[in-house]
Amino acid sequence: MELGLDTATAGLAQVMGVYFGRRGGMERWSRVLDAALPAAERLGDRRAAAWLTYRRGIARQFSGRAAEASADYRAARALMAEAGDRDGEEMALQRLAERQMDDGCFEEAIDLLRQAADLQPEATTTQGHVVTRARIGHALVQLGRFAEAHEAATEAVKTARDIDNLHLETMALRVHGAVALGTGDASGALELFRTALAQTRATGHRIAEALSLTDIAVAARALGRVVEALDHHAEALRIIHETGERLRAAPILIPYGETCLAAGDRGEAARHLRQAFDLATTLGLRHLEAEARRVLAAMDLEPGGDPADG
């Protein structure tokens, strides 16, 4: 009877993530997983324990417990390696790399992503191939290594087209756009970002749509088209509010604040940047927290205080 209950507990905890995720209840899901892990251990099911630990990492990551999430991903990776679960080990490495990028540790993220790539099957092209190379490209852009980023993004686009995955192709196109923007080709970046936007709308991925609108706004601002940029920022933020994905807002709000500043609206700039800072701090997104702080400091403002005080 106890084994049957343990089996049910471990299984139920894994599927409840959909329920809690849609309702923003990641902290509650984390507690469910806390209770389920001993059940998996009593069953001697190392693979179930690995996946429960991995999913607890996700729950902790999106409830502001970043350091604990990283610890869970490391533990899950070790358990998956013991169980011979290469797909699971690769996914844990992807999450660890994401956490490193959240902390602004891009070299470390690239190393983890290359370890993930080593686990991918050589004979079969998978979605993981595209995601890994696109993320490596993104990290390289952050380091200013644009030629390498272009190479990674080109490979990612080709692979996404080979497997006919428009959403992942869009992910890689955004890296291409970031390379163009970083090398001074704002017009080329704008065209790439517009293509990415059209593709996100075709796939119906609303968060990617908001990110693409933000990309377009940044490129438009670089071209001096500030009013157009503000319109795109406003639409991106509206999508975030409509989807209820408030925790995804920080990378939308920081460039919005910078464009408001370029338009001479210090009050709106301060409001968006302080909101971004608060969100990034809550979620443990150190890189975005530092970015928001940097722009506020350039305005001679502190992160705290009245959000509208510019």
pLDDT along the chain (310 residues), means of 10: 40 49 63 76 81 90 89 96 92 96 97 94 80 97 98 95 94 97 98 97 95 98 98 97 85 98 97 96 93 96 68
Buried b / exposed e over 166-198, threshold 16 CB at 10 Å, is: ebbbbbbbbbbbbbbbbbebbebbbebbbbbbe
CA dihedral 47, 49, 52, 55 (to 10 degrees): -70
CA atoms of 256 and 16, how far apart (whole Å): 35
- Please measure the distance between the N-terminal and C-terminal CA atoms of the chain and give it in whole angstroms: 63
CA atoms of 34 and 300, how far apart (whole Å): 44
Whole-angstrom CA distances from 210 to 206, 251, 291 are 6, 10, 19
Residue 130: other Cβ atoms inside 10 A? 25
CA atoms of 178 and 276, how far apart (whole Å): 21
CA atoms of 33 and 129, how far apart (whole Å): 29
pTM: 0.87
SS3 sequence of 214-277: HHHHHHHHHCCCHHHHHHHHHHHHHHHHHHCCHHHCHHHHHHHHHHHHHCCCHHHHHHHHHHHH
The pLDDT value recorded for residue 167 is 93
